[in-house]
A and B are shown apart, each in its own frame.
Chain A
Amino acid sequence: MNVSDDLYQEIILDHSRSPRHYGCPLNHTHCAAGRNPLCGDEYQVYLTLDEDGVIRDASFEGAGCAISKASTSLMLEQLIGKHHEQARALFETFHDMVTNPGGDHDTKVLGKLAAFSGIWKFPSRVKCAILCWHAVRNALDGKTTASTE
Chain B
Amino acid sequence: MNGTDTTLLDIRDRFPCLEQQVHGKRLAYLDSAATALKPACVIDAVTQHYTQESANIHRGVHHLSEKATASFEAARETVRAHLNAAHTHEIIFTSGTTDSINLVAQAFGQLEIGKGDEILITEMEHHSNIVPWQLLRERSGAVLRVAPISDDGDVDREAFRASLNERTKLVAFTAVSNALGTVNPVAEMAAEAHAAGASVLVDAAQGVPVQPMDVQALDCDFLAFSGHKVFGPTGIGVLYGKEGLLEAMPPVKGGGDMILSVTFEKTTYNALPYTFEAGTAHIAGAIGLGRALEFVSELGYAAIETHEAAILADAFEALQAIEGVRLVGTPSRRKGIISFLVDEIHPHDLGTILDQEGVAIRAGHHCAQPVMAHFGVPATARASFSLYNNHDDIDQLVAAIQKAQEIFG
Contacts and interface: CB of A to CB of B under 8 A. Distances in A.
A65 B407 contact: no
A97 interface: no
Contacts of A39: 348, 364, 378-379
Q: Which 4 A-B pairs have the closest CB atoms?
A: A40-B378, A65-B346, A65-B348, A66-B349
A141 B348 CA distance: 30
Given A39-B379, A40-B378, A42-B378, A3 B352 contact: yes
Contacts of A40: 364-365, 369, 372, 378-379
Contacts of A17: 344
B407 A4 contact: yes
B335 to A, nearest CB: 25
Contacts of B347: 65
B370 to A, nearest CB: 13
A125 B408 contact: no
B365 to A, nearest CB: 6
A4 B353 CA distance: 9
Interface in A49-93: 63-67
A66 B349 CA distance: 7
Secondary structure class of chain B's binding surface, majority of residues: helix
A65 B349 contact: yes
A63 B378 contact: yes
Interface in A16-54: 17, 38-42
Interface string A118-129: 000010110010
A63 B365 CA distance: 14
A125 to B, nearest CB: 6
With a 10 A CB-CB cut-off, give which of B344, B349, B364, B379 has the most chain A CB atoms.
Answer: B349
B356 interface: yes
A133 interface: no
A4 B408 CA distance: 10
A15 B378 CA distance: 21
A46 B365 CA distance: 27
Nearest to A36: B348
A98 B353 CA distance: 19
A7 interface: yes
Interface residues of B, number: 18
A142 to B, nearest CB: 28
B18 to A, nearest CB: 22
Contact of B348 (A1, A2, A13, A125): A125
A8 interface: yes
A67 B349 contact: yes
Chain A interface size band reads 20 to 34
B23 interface: yes
Interface of A: 1-4, 7-8, 13, 17, 38-42, 63-67, 122, 124-125, 128
Secondary structure class of chain A's binding surface, majority of residues: mixed
A13 B407 contact: yes
A113 B325 CA distance: 31
Contacts of A1: 23, 356
With a 10 A CB-CB cut-off, give which of A38, A66, A125 has the most chain B CB atoms.
Answer: A66
Contacts of A67: 348-349
Contacts of A66: 345-346, 349, 408
Interface string B176-218: 0000000000000000000000000000000000000000000
Contacts of B407: 3-4, 8, 13
B346 A64 contact: yes
B389 to A, nearest CB: 23
Nearest to A13: B408
A38 B364 contact: yes
B355 to A, nearest CB: 9
Interface in B118-134: none
Contacts of B346: 64-66
A2 B25 CA distance: 13
Contacts of A38: 364
A142 B328 CA distance: 40
Given A13-B407, A40-B372, A64-B346, 5 more contacts: A4-B407, A40-B365, A64-B378, A65-B348, A66-B345
With a 10 A CB-CB cut-off, give which of B352, B369, B378 has the most chain A CB atoms.
Answer: B352
A1 B356 CA distance: 9
Contacts of B379: 39-40
Contacts of A64: 346, 378
With a 10 A CB-CB cut-off, give which of B344, B347, B356 has the most chain A CB atoms.
Answer: B356
26 contacts: A1-B23, A1-B356, A2-B356, A3-B353, A3-B407, A7-B352, A8-B353, A8-B408, A13-B407, A39-B364, A39-B378, A39-B379, A40-B364, A40-B365, A40-B369, A40-B372, A41-B378, A42-B378, A64-B378, A65-B346, A65-B348, A66-B345, A66-B349, A125-B348, A125-B352, A128-B348
Given A40-B372, A66-B408, A8 B365 contact: no
